Amino acid sequence: MNITVEGLVIKSTGSSYWVLPDDSPDVLECKIKGTFRMQGIRTTNPVVVGDRVGVEVNEGQLSLITTICDRRNVIIRRASNLSKQGHILAANIDLAALVVTVKHPETSTVFIDRFLASAESYGVPSVLVFNKTDLYSEEDNRYLDALIMLYESLHYTCFKISALTQQGIEELRKELEGKITLLSGNSGVGKSTLLNALLPDAAVKTGSISEYHDKGMHTTTFSEMLPLPQGGFIIDTPGIKGFGLLEVTPEEAGHYFREIFETSQQCKFYNCTHTHEPGCAVIAAVESLTINPSRYHSYLSIVEDSVPGKYR
């Protein structure tokens, strides 16, 4: 006898999906129904962690995902080798938390800004979690404080933590309480160590930094939603090397940079791309340092991003 149930996707390997039904504590391992992939979804992963789905439960056989409920939001990036397709990191989330390190490895401001812009474009609130403070020199800390000052001036909440020594962990716990939070970042920024600090029982596998590249070795190979002790969930995602926005026109890109959007109201032309136009208030603000040049550089990287896979 076949029955259909609704539930929440809590884990995905890309070929198999684990769904927690609404009316049962027993997780179902599922596949996607054969025709499902053919419905014109332009992503490499049509079903993602955080999705609410309909599942056909077949007694004695593998359960099949047959429908996806409408999504409240997603976080999506350009797929690694398919510039016209996106890779969705998670759906239906309350918060996107980007783990950042200024050394070992260094997270570029372009990566930070692209992540924040993507979150803005899908209406997802975001915070920045600056990790590994126990490793930083005096000079590193000055740079870190300058970064925090920049992003806090744009009304992004920033956390200064050491997952290893537990510095700042309690404040972060309070922020995540009761929310479904996507945890993302470059490989090697300490996401797994942070998860172990937030979820002592999770025993998340941690990896070492490659000395040659000073980048993290991938330790998470699939996305998974983990329950927080204080309520809420955290979605662990594989470390990513870059972040490309999908289907953003030059005219739209400035909408996702808060200070550029605000300043653009004073531009001479309503469709100003803030790259060359006369009477551009944004260019004037960059020249007077009212807008931080690093943010403008990140904005330009999105506007000019016509090379496939340039910022994967």
Q: Which residues contact 216 (CB under 8 A, 6 or more apart)?
A: 105, 186, 187, 188, 189, 207, 209, 210, 239
How far apart CA 186 and CA 108 sit, in angstroms, is 10
| Confidence at residue 117, expressed as pLDDT on a 0 to 100 scale | 93
Which pLDDT value is given to residue 42?
66
Band of the pLDDT at 210, cuts 50, 70, 90? very low
Give the pLDDT score at 61: 84
**Is 2-68's fold the same as 74-236's?**
no
Distance between CA atoms of 281 and 113, rounded to whole angstroms? 20
* Higher pLDDT among residues 59 and 25, named by residue: 25
Using the CB atoms, write b or e for 225-258: b if 16+ within 10 Å: bbebeeebbbbbbebbebbbbbebebeebbebbb
What is the pLDDT confidence band of residue 260, given thresholds at 50, 70 and 90? Answer: very high
pLDDT top residue among 78 and 290: 290
Q: Is the pLDDT of residue 138 over 60?
A: yes
SS3 content of the chain, % helix, strand, coil (to 5): 25, 25, 45
For the chain, the structural domain boundaries read 2-68, 74-236, 250-303
pTM: 0.85
SS3 175: helix
250-303 carries CATH number 1.10.10.10: no
Q: Which CATH number fits domain 74-236: 3.40.50.300, 1.10.3720.10, 3.90.1490.10, 3.40.630.30?
A: 3.40.50.300
User: H/E element holding 99?
Assistant: strand 95-100
Bridge partner residues of 209 (DSSP):
216
pLDDT, greater one: 123 or 58: 123
Task: Work out the average pLDDT over 153-167.
Answer: 96
Answer for the pair 249, 242: CB distance below 8 angstroms, yes or no.
no
Rounded to the nearest integer, the mean pLDDT of the chain is 85
Given a contact cutoff of 8 angstroms between Cβ atoms, the answer to whether 51 and 15 are in contact is no
Lowest mean pLDDT among 2-16, 75-89, 132-146, 158-172: 75-89
Mean pLDDT of all residues in 48-54: 95
Please report which residue ranges of the chain form alpha helices under DSSP H. Answer: 109-121, 138-153, 169-176, 191-198, 250-253, 258-264, 281-287, 293-303
Given a contact cutoff of 8 angstroms between Cβ atoms, the answer to whether 312 and 80 are in contact is yes
Domain 2-68: top CATH class:
mainly beta
Contact yes or no for 312/241 (Cβ under 8 A): yes
Q: 66-104 b/e with 16+ CB inside 10 Å = b?
A: eebeebebbbbbbbeeebebbbbbbbbbbbbbbbbbbeb
What is the rounded distance in angstroms from the CA atom of residue 312 to the CA atom of residue 305?
A: 11
Please give the average per-residue pLDDT across 109-128, as a whole number: 93
What's the pLDDT tens digit per position in 169-188?
Answer: 999 999 999 999 999 998 89
